[in-house]
């Protein structure tokens, strides 16, 4: 197991190096000049040239790359072209809202999604199952931003129960923190609940039709015991895979929710950085996200061994 | 030890209370909601804090809050002393002497001295076109004593006080001497000014929000507030600029009372705002915004004056205004000096015809020798009104047989491509649409729109020696009537060589909650002083 983990972590480093080279070149080839954006709309060409020189954009590409790459090896991801603040500091400031939103969304999605899927499989063809089908269709087809605006209109403007936008740090109290995360969490959870519920239902249906389930029923096992002790554990691997996939796609999907609910997370940081061609932030974020993807996949692979003892690395 | 459900609840409540304590403490130190105004200025995110380092509009708003100026324009756009107590000009009009007001000081407690003003004028003069003109004409800028300094000129500059009072970016804000001694390509990050507001550094959340607190030490002028001149009275304890990127969310926040002011509400919400008894639409910039197309003088077909004149006749300004800003106040614009400025006039405007004249445009393109080559229009897809105008222009050109092609990208991409002087096949362009404050159209020295000196001019690189000769005279004329006469002559030449093509005058109202009153309506800057919550 230890060798396997080390092997996978080694691959993580290789993936991050490749992402780094790719992102660096892609950004330089894409149209857009941060110096021109920084100087402002009515800036003279002389002003723009002065800023470009100062920022080192007139250096040859290999020189710029080596400068950036050696910085990363020292743990220095550079500084924002615009604010001058270190990239890692900016990212760390934005991590808490994103982690809060994704964690709450995963808790809600997994809890409701798995329960929903199990119940639908248990009552296959029944009311719950049909409701799940309708909910899943809706959950997949209605975009998150539409759900978000709808929730804002209903609960923030009309009912005035919840705030429209913004984020409160958990350090300012759990109440305000939770209050501002309810609507974005609900909006973001819906497609994931639908996704996880559909997969959980399908896996459970497959397991429930196995011979050993019939045997358990013949031996007088209760419905609870059959569903949660016998079936769910055996249906766990595909469900875990889906949860892992959901988590990684959530990191990308959170951008829209953060924009709609004005949550200052890493998603918005990246979007703003792309609009402004703030290269160091984009590069730093993409390297960190790629690393996170690989690590989450590794954790999911390791979690398989918990639900299925036959799996060994 | 057994752990009961009751113990669990008790522990949970205690933990929740403990985590909530910081918010309670914070609430005690923050000003009340009634003394705090929350705004979404609507000019993007504040990323650079030095208004000399960048000409970005949002940084100019920031500069107006925390810095002060020597002179400011009043509501009639006439320059009035601000930090200056009195000033005089020598009989030969070559030496201006300025004496600062009593009681002026920086936030850090140090008094404002003439040395800071001298360094600030020098730094600003390196980046602003008005400032550059000032430095070109200047023999010496010197400190006389702690409160007095002088500008000695090589030759008279009738426009000097107007240049010092300009609120357009880059605005001549006065900074501490140690800050102003930095080269203009290096950012001043200290944010220590002498304006009516102090920047609250600990509450700054880049990309999220910035807070400005009342500067208790600020000494307002005794004259009543008038435009950007007169007394700057601060009626709130704190201003918070929220950066809400999504327009719909920003508007919902205004409806719910989470913000008090929204700088640029989307056009499709105007009717909702007008129907909401707690909200108000208000036009602050009475000079509006002039939208115009820059034609690339370096490339075919617009290197030929006939093709440029064809564009004048092609444009149906009413149609463009309808797609850009469907507001009944928006209208046509036939003057290069802005529709509502001191220098607006109707010289040489016979080309204008309601609805445009496509046949005449087709004829002129033919006379220009146009043979169907591709005409590239830069299309900023993330700025709605410019995006719409670009699409309409492409459609109008195609109707008269011109091979128009849109080059879509975000604004960042447009800004980069517009600097390309090369031909189309090398990434060049033919038409770029943008806009500027109507007020700035009255500034022939500071506005990049005007210079027509070829490769030294702004994008489009218009060239007319005759126009340039007239434009250079502008700085030497100090009588208003004489300048108005010169404006007519300049416009006469402009519409002959067609430096740019006007698409219409638009007005972009702000939205506010009705309890936020006292807003000062001026171009270019949204002043935070004078506002109050009632």
The pTM assigned to this predicted structure is 0.81
Window 97-136 of A, Cβ < 8 Å to B:
none
Cβ neighbours of A85 in B, within 8 Å: 206
CA distance B407 to B417: 10
Give Cα separations from B76 to A257, B170, B287 (angstroms). 46, 21, 11
Cβ neighbours of A262 in B, within 8 Å: 242, 244-246, 249-250, 253
User: Which pLDDT band, with edges at 50, 70 and 90, does B45 fall under?
Assistant: confident
Measure CA B211 to chain center.
21
**Cβ proximity of B477 and B486 under 8 Å:** yes
CA distance B506 to B502: 11
Tell me the nearest-neighbour CA distance from B21 into chain A, angstroms.
7
CA distance B462 to B493: 13
**Cβ proximity of B247 and B480 under 8 Å:** no
In this complex, do A31 and B16 lie within 8 Å of one another by their Cβ atoms?
A: no
**Cβ proximity of B74 and B294 under 8 Å:** no
**Cβ proximity of B63 and B179 under 8 Å:** no
Compare B41 and A112 and report the one with higher pLDDT: A112
In this complex, do A268 and B246 lie within 8 Å of one another by their Cβ atoms?
A: no
CA distance A115 to A125: 16
Average of pLDDT values for B199-211?
90
CA-nearest residue of chain B to A54? B185
β-pair partners for B290: B436, B505
CA distance B91 to B487: 27
User: Which pLDDT band, with edges at 50, 70 and 90, does B336 fall under?
Assistant: very high
CA distance A306 to A236: 10
Give the CA diameter of chain A. 86
**Cβ proximity of A81 and A279 under 8 Å:** yes
CA distance B464 to B469: 9
The sign of the torsion formed by the CA atoms of B143, B149, B155, B161 equals positive
β-pair partners for B211: B200, B240
Low-confidence winner among A47-51, A94-98, A193-197 (lowest mean pLDDT): A47-51
**Cβ proximity of B396 and B261 under 8 Å:** no
**Cβ proximity of B453 and B320 under 8 Å:** no
CA distance B229 to B130: 20
Is the pLDDT at A81 greater than 50? The verdict is: yes
Neighbours of B109 (CB within 10 A): 8
pLDDT tens figures, A202-252: 998 998 888 888 888 888 888 888 888 788 888 878 888 888 878 777 876
The overall average pLDDT reported for chain A is 86
In this complex, do A33 and B412 lie within 8 Å of one another by their Cβ atoms?
A: yes
Helix (H, G, I), strand (E, B) or coil at B87: strand
User: Which pLDDT band, with edges at 50, 70 and 90, does B19 fall under?
Assistant: very low
In this complex, do B47 and A36 lie within 8 Å of one another by their Cβ atoms?
A: no
In this complex, do A33 and B415 lie within 8 Å of one another by their Cβ atoms?
A: yes
Compare A224 and B237 and report the one with higher pLDDT: B237
For residue B27, the model assigns a pLDDT of 44
Helix (H, G, I), strand (E, B) or coil at B116: helix
The answer to whether residue A37 neighbours chain B at the CB level (below 8 Å) is yes
Residues 6+ apart with CB under 8 A from B288: B329, B330, B338, B339, B340, B437, B438, B505, B506, B507, B508
Neighbours of B469 (CB within 10 A): 11
For residue A24, the model assigns a pLDDT of 86
Average of pLDDT values for A289-303?
82
Average of pLDDT values for B243-269?
91
**Cis before B131 (ω within 30):** no
Give Cα separations from B259 to A250, A284, B197, B251, B342 (angstroms). 29, 33, 19, 9, 36
CA distance B374 to B520: 46
In this complex, do A41 and B56 lie within 8 Å of one another by their Cβ atoms?
A: yes
Neighbours of A278 (CB within 10 A): 26
Tell me the nearest-neighbour CA distance from A37 into chain B, angstroms.
6
In this complex, do B252 and A269 lie within 8 Å of one another by their Cβ atoms?
A: no
CA distance A113 to B142: 74
CA distance B455 to B298: 9
The percent of residues in chain A predicted with pLDDT above 90, rounded, is 25
Q: Which two tokens stand for residue B111?
A: 């008094």
Q: Which two tokens stand for residue B430?
A: 């033919």
CA-nearest residue of chain B to A146? B248
Cβ neighbours of A272 in B, within 8 Å: 45, 207, 245
**Cis before B301 (ω within 30):** yes
pLDDT tens figures, B417-430: 898 899 999 999 99
For residue B24, the model assigns a pLDDT of 45
> Dihedral, CA atoms, B341, B345, B348, B349, nearest 10 degrees?
70
Tell me the nearest-neighbour CA distance from B96 into chain A, angstroms.
28
Q: Which of A236, A27, A302, A152 is nearest to B258 (CA)?
A: A152
Among B207, B251, B417, the strongest candidate for a mutation testing the A interface, having the largest count of A CBs within 10 A, is B207
Tell me the nearest-neighbour CA distance from A192 into chain B, angstroms.
23
The percent of residues in chain B predicted with pLDDT above 90, rounded, is 66
Residues 6+ apart with CB under 8 A from A282: A23, A27, A270, A273, A274
Average of pLDDT values for B101-127?
93
Is the pLDDT at A276 greater than 50? The verdict is: yes
CA distance B292 to B361: 17
> In terms of DSSP bridges, do strands B510-513 and B173-174 run parallel, antiparallel, or are they unpaired?
unpaired
């Amino acid at each position: 197991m230890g060798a396997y983990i080390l092997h996978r972590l080694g691959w993580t480093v290789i993936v991050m190096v490749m992402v780094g080279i790719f992102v660096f070149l892609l950004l330089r080839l894409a149209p857009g000049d941060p110096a021109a954006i920084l100087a402002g709309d009515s800036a003279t060409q002389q002003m723009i040239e002065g800023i470009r020189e100062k920022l080192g954009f007139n250096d040859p590409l290999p020189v710029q790359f080596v400068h950036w790459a050696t910085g990363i090896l020292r743990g220095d991801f550079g500084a924002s072209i615009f604010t001058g603040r270190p990239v890692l500091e900016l990212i760390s400031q934005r991590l808490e809202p994103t982690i809060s939103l994704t964690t709450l969304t995963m808790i809600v999605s997994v809890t409701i999604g798995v329960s929903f899927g199990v119940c639908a499989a248990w009552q296959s063809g029944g009311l719950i199952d049909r409701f799940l089908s309708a909910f899943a269709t809706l959950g997949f087809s209605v975009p998150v931003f539409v759900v978000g605006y709808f929730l804002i209109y209903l609960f923030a403007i009309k009912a005035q129960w919840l705030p429209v936008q913004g984020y409160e740090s958990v350090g300012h109290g759990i109440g305000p923190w939770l209050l501002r995360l309810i609507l974005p969490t609900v909006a973001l959870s819906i497609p994931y609940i639908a996704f996880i519920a559909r997969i959980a239902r399908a896996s459970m249906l497959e397991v429930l039709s196995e011979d050993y389930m019939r045997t358990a029923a013949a031996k007088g096992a209760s419905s609870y015991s059959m569903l949660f002790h016998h079936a769910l554990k055996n249906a766990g691997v595909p469900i875990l895979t889906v949860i892992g996939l959901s988590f990684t796609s959530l990191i990308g999907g959170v951008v829209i929710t953060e924009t709609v609910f004005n949550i200052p997370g890493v998603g918005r940081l990246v979007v703003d950085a792309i609009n402004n061609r703030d290269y160091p932030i984009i590069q730093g974020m993409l390297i960190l996200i790629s690393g996170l993807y690989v690590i989450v996949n590794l954790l999911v692979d390791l979690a398989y061994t918990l639900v299925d003892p036959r799996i060994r690395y | 030890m057994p752990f009961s459900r009751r113990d669990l609840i008790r522990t949970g409540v205690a933990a929740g209370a403990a985590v909530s304590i910081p918010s309670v403490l914070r609430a005690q130190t923050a000003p009340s909601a009634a003394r705090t105004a929350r705004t979404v200025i609507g000019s993007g995110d504040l990323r650079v804090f030095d208004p000399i380092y960048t000409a970005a509009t949002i940084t100019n708003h920031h500069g107006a809050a925390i810095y002060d100026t020597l002179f400011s324009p009043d509501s009639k756009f006439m320059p009035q002393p601000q930090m200056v107590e009195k000033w005089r000009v020598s009989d030969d009009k070559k030496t201006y002497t300025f004496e600062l007001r009593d009681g002026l000081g920086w936030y850090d407690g140090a008094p404002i001295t003439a040395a800071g003003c001298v360094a600030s004028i020098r730094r600003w003069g390196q980046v602003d076109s008005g400032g550059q003109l000032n430095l070109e004409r200047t023999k010496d800028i010197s400190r006389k004593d702690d409160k007095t300094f002088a500008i000695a000129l090589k030759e008279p500059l009738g426009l000097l006080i107007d240049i010092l009072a300009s609120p357009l970016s880059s605005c001549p804000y006065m900074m501490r001497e140690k800050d102003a001694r930095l080269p203009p390509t290096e950012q001043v990050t200290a944010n220590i000014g002498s304006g009516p507001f102090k920047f609250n550094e600990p509450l700054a959340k880049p990309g999220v929000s910035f807070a400005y607190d009342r500067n208790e030490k600020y000494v307002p002028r005794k004259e009543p507030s008038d435009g950007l001149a007169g007394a700057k009275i601060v009626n709130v304890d704190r201003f918070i600029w929220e950066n809400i990127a999504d327009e719909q969310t920003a508007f919902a926040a205004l409806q719910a009372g989470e913000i008090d002011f929204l700088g640029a509400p989307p056009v499709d919400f105007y009717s909702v705002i007008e129907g909401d008894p707690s909200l108000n639409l208000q036009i602050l910039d009475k000079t509006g915004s002039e939208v115009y197309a820059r034609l690339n003088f370096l490339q075919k077909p617009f290197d030929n004056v006939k093709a440029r004149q064809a564009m004048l006749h092609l444009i149906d300004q009413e149609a463009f205004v309808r797609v850009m800003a469907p507001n009944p106040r928006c209208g046509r614009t036939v003057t290069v000096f802005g529709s509502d400025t001191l220098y607006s006039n109707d010289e040489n405007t016979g080309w204008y015809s309601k609805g445009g004249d496509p046949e005449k445009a087709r004829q002129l393109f033919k006379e220009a020798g146009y043979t169907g080559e591709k005409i590239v229009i830069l299309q900023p897809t993330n700025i709605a009104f410019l995006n719409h105008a670009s699409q309409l222009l492409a459609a109008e050109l195609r109707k008269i047989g011109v091979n128009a092609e849109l080059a879509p990208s975000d604004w960042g991409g447009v800004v980069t491509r517009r600097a390309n002087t090369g031909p189309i096949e090398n990434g060049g362009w033919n038409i770029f649409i943008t806009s500027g404050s109507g007020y700035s159209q009255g500034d022939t020295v500071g506005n990049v729109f005007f210079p027509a000196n070829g490769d030294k001019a702004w994008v489009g690189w218009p060239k007319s020696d005759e126009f340039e000769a007239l434009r250079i005279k502008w700085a030497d004329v100090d009588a208003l009537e004489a300048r108005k006469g010169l404006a007519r002559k300049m416009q006469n030449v402009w519409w002959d060589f067609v430096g740019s093509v006007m698409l219409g005058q638009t007005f972009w109202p702000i939205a506010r909650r009705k309890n936020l009153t006292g807003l000062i309506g001026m171009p270019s800057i949204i002043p935070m002083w004078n506002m109050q919550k009632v």
